[in-house]
Amino acid sequence: MSILSSYLAREGLTQREFATRIGVDQSIVSRLLKSGQPGGTKPGLPLAIRIERETGGAVPAASWVEMQVDKAG
For residue 65, what pLDDT band results from cuts at 50, 70 and 90? confident
Q: Contact at 8 Å (CB) between 13 and 29?
A: no
Q: Contact at 8 Å (CB) between 15 and 8?
A: yes
- Can you give the residue ranges of every domain in the chain? 3-55
Dump pLDDT digits (tens) for 2-60: 899 999 999 999 999 999 999 999 999 999 999 888 888 999 999 999 999 999 999 99
pTM equals 0.86
pLDDT at 71 over 70: no
Task: State residue 38's pLDDT score.
Answer: 87
Q: How far is CA 6 from the centre of its chain?
A: 10
Cα separation, 28 vs 65, in Å, equals 18
